[in-house]
Amino acid sequence: MFNAGEYFEQHEVLEELWRAEPGAIRELYQGILQVGVGCYHLQRGNYRGALALLDRGLARLATVAPGAAGIDVAGLMSQARRLRQRLAELGPGRLDQVGPADYPRIAWL
């Protein structure tokens, strides 16, 4: 769902997993969820929401091992940082210049 750009839907699924998980892996779930919600805000033209959720997601992912659950967390973080930087450079008036290739994707190791 995340890689398909279905950010609202991925939020619903990951929130359920995150809430049910008592261990440290919940940070991974919540970090991915927040990066996805940042992308959702971007799709809807919410500049501030996109930046805020990308920042929150990156902060959570920074606490997770680079290959947690077989996911390339370091790669996801790099892509999310790049998107965040692009948004900061464009500003709220030029979000239409963000294309599909700018969105982060999850890769497995």
For residue 5, the number of C-alpha atoms closer than 13 Å in the C-beta half-sphere is 8
Q: What is the pLDDT of residues 56-90, one digit of tens each?
A: 999 999 999 999 999 999 999 999 999 999 999 99
Taking the model in full, what pTM does it have?
0.94
Q: What is the pLDDT of residues 16-69, one digit of tens each?
A: 887 888 888 899 999 999 999 999 999 999 999 999 999 999 999 999 999 999
Q: List the domain boundaries for the chain.
A: 7-102
Assigned fold of 7-102:
Hyaluronidase domain-like (1.10.3450)
Q: Contact at 8 Å (CB) between 7 and 36? A: yes
